[in-house]
Amino acid sequence: MADAKHGTRPIVIEETPGKKAYCQCGWSEKLPYCDGSHNRMQTGLRPIVCEVAEAGKKALCQCHQSGNLPWCDGTHSKLPQ
């Protein structure tokens, strides 16, 4: 079983409306989107699936501590280095 790879900063993307599956294991070759790597790497994690209502710039949490996953809420700036 592989450990999840976590970043310390959000991934900022220009997103389009629709159903999205965002990677939570960090192993996807299509970050920030899930490509199924969590199964291959046996991380025990699943993507966060959500409906994006409006197009625009989105900040996707990579520290996995946000209170509003998959969106960044700035929690990473309060975590120990």
User: pLDDT tens digit string along 6-59?
Assistant: 788 999 999 999 999 999 999 999 999 999 999 999 999 999 999 999 999 999
Q: What share of the chain is helix, strand, coil (3-state, %, to 5)?
A: 10, 25, 65
- Work out the pLDDT band at 81, boundaries 50, 70, 90: confident
> 62 lies in which domain range?
14-75
For residue 1, pLDDT over 80 is answered with no
In a domain, 62, yes or no: yes
How many domains, in total, are found in the chain?
1
In a domain, 81, yes or no: no
